[in-house]
Structure 1
């Protein structure tokens, strides 16, 4: 195996471990929230607050990786994720033991998750920028597709690990996620080659936060970034409320709910992988084309959730959502990456990594509020939003074709 392939494999392993950890949290959060006596909106707010921190920190870490080195920043993210997950689990354990309740518990969970987000925001932008560093513009879509496939594989393995561990304890999957990110950090430390820094200037955190905020409004990719953020917002609205929907519609226990949600996420990730390997890697479609196929497929999944009556419906819905997401995500990443020069890949990688977090700022809370109003509202809103996004991508494609520079 060539050194390039080994390096790409290690980068994929980093994304896999983060994806596993995140989807383990998503699988167990809804039953955990109800088990400690909190409401749906509390779960949404925990994710929304932490997403604000992640969106800011990922942009900063992307820029820091250009100065301090991609490998070092990847390690910061992995070790931070490990320690942050342990802290998050400890606070939930205190809630389950009734050592903390109500507002104190909610604020403690928010703080723990936000502290975790500061550090875990380092891995994805640094790994994405590393992939951009070692691929040519012609290889960029395929390289980003590999990272997308790694994320999808992580979202398969995460729920697959969570499902049996949930039977031991609701917190057992979180402890497993912490251990896996620590092991990945050891692999990176031992085997990932360092790259020369592209910028030797000192990093001023305040300035970098301001630059990160400004970077989200860069006219070269502002349109595709907005499309990506709204895509993630619609995804977050459905993903973060489906646990409540399954429990309320099927009238089952928290453990049974978490198991079904884990199975749905596994189906989603399997079909995302199928899309990435069978379509993205083989057909080499343009990035806008991937979005035009992926967004309507996700829309179909949201419509299926509107009719959920049994476990099978959740599996079918997330199969469509996963397949569509598997096409749309690399399309979004490649579109943003190709809009800037090689010297700016660290910065744009932070923006790419921050897009899901921006979507998750409003998505979980907005979805929870809609769910409390009407249990079908989040899925109807997600379907409408995805339809509008597909039209926006089509308009963007037509505009680029008519541009004199294309």
Structure 2
């Protein structure tokens, strides 16, 4: 069933997440420009993100539950393979339907990666250091997003398809690294008397953690709406060419990634121990809302990067806090419970891009204004629910 994982195992996982997220980040500055050149409309670009996220929504709980049964390592490896194959198909596409095929396949298989990695952290750490472990994984993601988009912006000036092949190569390298060096952990919450999958989902939706699944949904909705339109917004608001836009978006993601890596790597774990996950979630909601509303006012690349970094900081506080909280309080297996969380995240990524692409036609600032207002409303509901008996940790 596996062994207790040493710090070496966590370091290997950190490196694996860093490399795969760097590969994922490489394609971010060019994906929308590439799809537009193939012939996709803004609505279709939004639907590309929606199709990817919908597959993740459907399959994340399945992969999480499978990792509870057969182990984290093989499921994690399958997700990495899915990243690589989907990037290669996308980079070779010349028709819009081929883009959709690549994103759907990528959504199905890549859904195995992050929930399995978070469940791995839950297995490998105790309650006292789980927040730091989740923050460490978040820092790996942030560093990947810091370096990846900068590289993608440079590669995109050479060819808009090139970043997809580089991203695929990085995913395959990560697969080899993790398969050879990552130990299989001893899994928690996988005993025979745990709830069935259906019962665990029922407990999640009806129990005290339900609010945090909803917060995950709302946060993903807001972030996905931004990601689906951000490059178009920069190009249209700042009047940039496709190649210049790719470089500019690469710079923005580098700034956001640096801020997120600093927050996740050096701050979140200590804040969780001091203030508790619940308060960090609510503070993150408010901070992200402020960032989205400020994006509406941007008129140059510098302010765009600053406001996006504010929003990114809010998200950096929310996600590891929710993952840590669910990992500690779950009534079911870690893989299944984190898979449910990732499924809510994916559902937000289903709705968010479709909404963002649709309202973008009415006004290019509407995706960000509507997201900011929704996050503020969710923060208010979270505070009100906390005063009525939902668990709130004392500082």
What is the aligned counterpart of 2:218 among 230, 235, 238? 230
Post-superposition CA distance 1:164-193 (Å, at most 9, x none): 111211111111111111111111111111
Give the corresponding residue for 2:52. 50
Shift of 1:399: 2.9
Aligned counterparts, 1:12-161, within 5 A: 12-91=14-93, 95=94, 105-161=95-151
Which is further off, 171-180 or 330-339? 330-339
Q: CA deviation at 1:108?
A: 2.3
Shift of 1:251: 1.4
- Normalising by the residue count of structure 2, what TM-score does the alignment of the two structures yield? 0.90
TM-score normalised by the chain length of structure 1: 0.88
Task: Tell me the secondary structure at the aligned position of residue 399 of structure 1.
Answer: coil
Determine if contact 2:291/2:310 at 8 Å carries over to the other structure: yes
- Pick the aligned partner of 1:169 from 148, 159, 166: 159
Which position in structure 1 is the counterpart of 2:357? 368
Could you list the per-position Cα deviations for residues 44-91 of structure 1 after superposition, in whole angstroms to 9, with x for gaps in the alignment? 101101211111211101000111111111111112211121112111
> 2-side partners of 1:376 and 1:19: how far apart?
28
Task: Give the one of 169, 180, 185 matched to 2:175.
Answer: 185
Distance 1:382 1:64 in 2: 34
Gaps of 5+ in 2: none
Cα distance 1:319–1:196, how it changes in 2: closer, same or farther (>3 A)? Answer: closer
**Is the 2:83–2:168 contact (alpha carbons within 8 Å) kept by the matching residues of 1?**
yes
Does structure 2 retain, via aligned residues, the 8 Å contact 1:145–1:280?
yes
Contact 1:279 1:327 in 2 (8 A): no
Aligned CA-pair RMSD? 2.3
Looking at structure 2, the residues matched to 59 and 66 of structure 1 have their Cα atoms a distance apart, in angstroms, of 11
Does the Cα contact within 8 Å between 2:20 and 2:170 map onto a contact in 1?
no
Other-structure match for 2:244: 256
**Structure 2 Cα separation of the partners of residues 196 and 22 of structure 1:** 29
SS of residue matched to 1:54: helix
Query: Contact (CA 8 Å) 2:235, 2:242: kept in 1 or not?
Result: yes
Q: Does 1:302 align with 2:304?
A: no
Aligned counterpart, 1:318 = 308
1:18 CA drift (Å)? 3.5
How far residue 282 of structure 1 moved from its aligned partner, in angstroms, is: 3.0
The 3 A distance-change label for structure 1 pair 111 and 217 is farther
Relative to 1, partners in 2 of residues 1:33 and 1:5: Cα closer, same or farther, differing over 3 Å?
Answer: same
Shift in Å at residue 221 of structure 1?
Answer: 2.0
**Farther off after superposition, 113-122 or 29-38:** 29-38
Given the alignment, which residue of 376, 380, 391 partners 2:380?
391
Write out per-residue CA displacement over residues 289-338 of structure 1, whole angstroms, 9 at most, x where no aligned residue.
11122222212211221112111121111111122121111122122222
1:287 is displaced (CA, Å) by 0.5
Following the alignment from structure 2 to structure 1, what is the Cα–Cα distance between the partners of residues 200 and 20?
22
CA distance in 2, matches of 1:402, 1:125: 24
Contact 1:152 1:272 in 2 (8 A): yes
Matched residue, 1:290: 280
Q: 1:165 to 1:214 in 2, by over 3 A?
A: farther
